Amino acid sequence: MSKISKIVLASGNAGKVREINKLFAGSGIEVVPQSDFGVPEVPETGTTFVENAIIKARHAAECTGLPAISDDSGIEVDALDHRPGVWSARYAGEDASDTDNNDLMLKELEGVPEAERTARYQCLIVFMRSHTDPVPLISQGEWEGRILEAPRGDGGFGYDPIFYVPTHDCSGGELSLDVKNTLSHRAIALQGILQQFREHGYI
Ligand code: IMP
């Protein structure tokens, strides 16, 4: 099995590129954002994280001719029947801000007791050797918590201020980025994909 030295990331998010390259340090793999190749964003038309991750990885691989990696993530709330899921960024509307989304979630959960406010972040990472790869590698990471009754802390992004982290007795918005990056759904999914790279002899 041949080694892989360069992978395109199906995202232009500089924070994600940094996080992934930090974790991949020493693996011989360099991750480059698709924006470096002028790859346009592709509509995320799937109803599951894995579908959207495959759509994005396939598109990046097709546009660049490189192996591609993508991630799709969001939050699922048990009392909301696993919503907002793939619509996490668009929960309160197409142009919703993080505050709009958090406010709507707190409103929808009004009166729901603590024990029933369980929720988890989900992250799906997909790796495709080329856009015609029939067996994408798939890695899932979960981060378990529950939805608070009011925001706490101003760190993180998205739902972090209303996401209670039982292992650290604080909200996601109160964690340092370094600590979050050891616990998060994305960190777990990335470790998993790295392990699959080892098993396949790519690194
Ligand atoms: P993306 O797929 O990484 O762009 O994430 C989609 C949406 O899920 C984000 O816009 C956030 O609303 C939510 N989300 C994903 N990961 C996190 C996280 O680590 N903290 C807070 N919100 C997150």
Q: Are 2 and 11 in contact (CB under 8 A)?
A: no
How does the average pLDDT of the chain come out, rounded?
96
Determine which residue's CA is closest to atom 9 belonging to ligand 1: 89
Q: Which atom of ligand 1 is nearest to the CA of 143?
A: 19
Residue with the nearest Cα to atom 15 of ligand 1?
74
Read off φ and ψ for residue 94, nearest 5 degrees.
-50, -45
pLDDT at 113 over 70: yes
pLDDT for 89 equals 96
User: Which pLDDT band holds residue 101 (cuts at 50, 70, 90)?
Assistant: very high
How far apart are alpha carbons 168 and 176 in whole angstroms?
A: 11
Cα separation, 87 vs 189, whole angstroms: 20
- Find out whether the beta carbon of 158 lies less than 6 Å from any atom of ligand 1: yes
- Quick: pLDDT tens for 16-37: 898 899 889 999 999 999 999 9
Q: Which residues are catalytic?
A: 72
Confidence of residue 1 (pLDDT cuts 50, 70, 90): low
* Atom of ligand 1 lying closest to residue 89 CA: 10
Q: Which of 9, 6, 2 is nearest to 190 (CA)?
A: 9
User: Which of 159, 187, 183 minimizes the C-alpha distance to 173?
Assistant: 159
Rounded to an integer, what distance in angstroms lies between the CA atom of residue 42 and that of residue 57?
Answer: 10
Check pocket membership of 37 for ligand 1, CB cut-off 6 A. no
CA-CA distance, 56 to 184, in Å (whole number)? 21
Q: 159 in ligand 1 pocket by Cβ < 6 Å?
A: yes
Query: Tell me: the pLDDT tens digits for 122-169?
Result: 999 999 999 999 999 999 999 999 999 999 999 999 999 999 999 999
pLDDT at residue 15 is higher than 90: no
Domain ranges for the chain, please list them.
6-200
This prediction has a pTM of 0.95
89 lines ligand 1 (CB under 6 A): yes
The helix/strand/coil state of 48 is coil
pLDDT at residue number 19 = 87
Fold of 6-200: Maf protein (3.90.950)
Pocket test for ligand 1, best of 11, 104, 157 (most atoms within 8 A of CB): 157
**Ligand 1 touching residue 151 (CB < 6 A):** no
